[in-house]
Amino acid sequence: MAAAVLAAMSSVVLSEVVYSHSAGALGLAMAPLAVAVAGRYLDDAVAQRPDRPPAWLAAGALTALACTYTEYLPALALAAVLYVVARRPGQLGRSLRAGATVAGLALLVGPLVWVRVVLSFVNEAGVSQSGGQAASYLGVPLRTIAAHYVGTLGILEPGPGDPVSYVPLLLLGAGVLLAIAISPARRFFRLVIGSIAALVLVLSTIRYFPYGQGEVVQVTFPVVMLAVAAGYGALLARLRPPRLGRGLRPAAAVLAAALVVVFAAVNVHTVLPYLAPSPTPYAASEIYNAQEFAAARNWLLSVAGPAGHDAMVLDTQVWDQVWLQYDLRDMTDLDFPYLVYTYSNGQSTTRFFDGSSRRYAVVESDLLMEVSPGVVVGDSGDFSFLDLSRGGAVIALGAGLSFNPVSDDTGIGPVQWMTDDGQLLVFHSASVTRIILTLVAVPHLAPNTVEVESGGQVLATATVTAARVEVPVDLPPGNAALLTLQGSRAAAVVPPDGRLRSIGLVGVQAAAGP
């Protein structure tokens, strides 16, 4: 009961509800049960107990968890392997047979589930290569990490957090230590907690992956709370009279219950501002403005016809793309050179880019561009409507998670930050053969040597500093190009948003010849 309250009322789990992460919330709820059923079956099979849970139940529980919240599996895979093989010689054979039975039944129960699992892991590998994700537990002060974990600070708030956060963190840590030292299920907790800690360490150092590390910390929270409850439960069981007095054990139980209630109250208080006065962080009109999307559709119909011939959409915002693709679904010739990476199962964000531009373009208004007078023929708030046949134009679009959304940074202005290997789509008039990219570097990563490449060929090399640096780039033939900006310094997590940054694009313009 204590573990359930600690997990369910924590800011980590409640945030999944606040941000409408339904699969995440369900996966966090299912994980302790799935892990417990599978662990119980393996232990009982090794001990040859006749009343053990059926193998199909353990296989079904793990398969259900896999298809509900796949990101849980890396955190538990090492623990599962160790739980099977770390046995005494006389038990190893029975343990291997039981593990093989569960694995085989899991494949039989949901073969397509495990195919999707493999695709999801490929997708996560792509995310780890590109970065650009916010980090709550890496690259920020220890006090902020503690506050995020124990719920005195929202997991996406920049901090620094209250120093009092160390107190509940130490109490939780003590509970985990008790679980692996004296609880009846100490072997289980040693393997599971040890595997989680090992994976967090790897994703924090050897394979630096802030998003993945944060996911491991968050999705394993209920299991860690289970360990905390088991640890203190084992301690209470040892406080028996007359050794320490008859009243000590009830008093300790009351104190533990009070601490659980306080923990829950603090976490709910942290999350509450995100629930009121609106049930979602953003008003629906901020995500979908019917008039703006209708204006984009009507303009495309007027210039490109019902099929969207010789037209394209240049946009980096996930919700814009969701609604544009829905509203424009009948325009079979309409081109989307860039698709947001989210849930693409590892497919390239530029898989529909064919190396050429189109005459008409619906362009996200925040994108960095330089156009001649008359090229912009209309707009609808978040979108500009361009006819590229009316004059010179250069439009730059950061492709994939290697680029963060365009932001307005103090002292810099509009900037699109990237990691150390960002891809950049450039659309331009045929008359433009040379452009100038204006770049800045994260100050503590400067100077940063950047190579601008296309198709394996280095087009330009420049040393970028914290001040604006103009980099001339001779473009490949044609009217569009996919460039890679390869920096010499690895990207770093930069407060306050905790995103990976290395080089920032602050401007693009056409240039005269050499």
Residue 304: pLDDT over 60: yes
Strands 376-379 and 311-314 turn out to be: unpaired
pTM above 0.85, yes or no: no
Rounded distance, CA 31 to CA 34, Å?
5
Helices (H), 9-72: 11-18, 22-47, 55-68
Candidates 219, 366, 389; CA nearest to 376 is 389
Q: Which of 208-217, 297-306, 341-350 has the lowest mean pLDDT?
A: 341-350
Candidates 370, 323, 321; CA nearest to 349 is 321
Q: What is the pLDDT of residue 428?
A: 92
Q: What is the pLDDT of residue 279?
A: 47
| Mean pLDDT estimate for the chain | 80
Name 65's Cβ contacts closer than 8 Å, sequence gap at least 6: 27, 30, 31, 34, 72, 73
Higher pLDDT, 103 or 69: 103
Rounded distance, CA 172 to CA 232, Å?
10
pLDDT grade for 480, boundaries at 50, 70 and 90: very high
What is the residue-wise DSSP string for 141-193? -HHHHHHHHHTSS-TTS-----GGGHHHHHHHHHHHHHHHHHSTTHHHHHHHH
Cis peptide bond N-terminal to 447, omega within 30: yes
Confirm if 34 and 59 have CB atoms less than 8 A apart. Answer: no
Cis peptide bond N-terminal to 89, omega within 30: no
Confirm if 388 and 434 have CB atoms less than 8 A apart. Answer: no
Confirm if 485 and 440 have CB atoms less than 8 A apart. Answer: no
Rounded distance, CA 230 to CA 500, Å?
37
Q: What is the pLDDT of residue 130?
A: 46
pLDDT grade for 7, boundaries at 50, 70 and 90: low
Rounded distance, CA 496 to CA 409, Å?
11
The secondary structure element, H or E, covering residue 346 is none
pLDDT grade for 168, boundaries at 50, 70 and 90: confident
Q: Write out pLDDT tens, residues 215-268.
A: 788 878 888 888 888 888 888 787 765 555 565 667 767 777 777 777 778 777
Rounded distance, CA 505 to CA 253, Å?
58
Confirm if 236 and 249 have CB atoms less than 8 A apart. Answer: yes
- C-alpha torsion angle, residues 450, 454, 459, 464 (rounded to 10): -20
* Average pLDDT estimate for 282-291: 64
- Which token pair is 209? 């992956």
Rounded distance, CA 357 to CA 361, Å?
9
Q: Write out pLDDT tens, residues 127-150.
A: 444 444 556 777 777 888 888 888
Q: Write out pLDDT tens, residues 38-84.
A: 888 888 888 888 888 888 998 888 888 877 777 667 777 788 888 88
Q: Say what percent of the chain tops pLDDT 90.
A: 21
Amino acid at 247: G
Strands 469-474 and 434-441 turn out to be: antiparallel
Q: What is the pLDDT of residue 114?
A: 81
Confirm if 413 and 444 have CB atoms less than 8 A apart. Answer: no
Rounded distance, CA 337 to CA 362, Å?
12
Residue 9: pLDDT over 70: no
3-state secondary structure (DSSP) of residue 47: helix
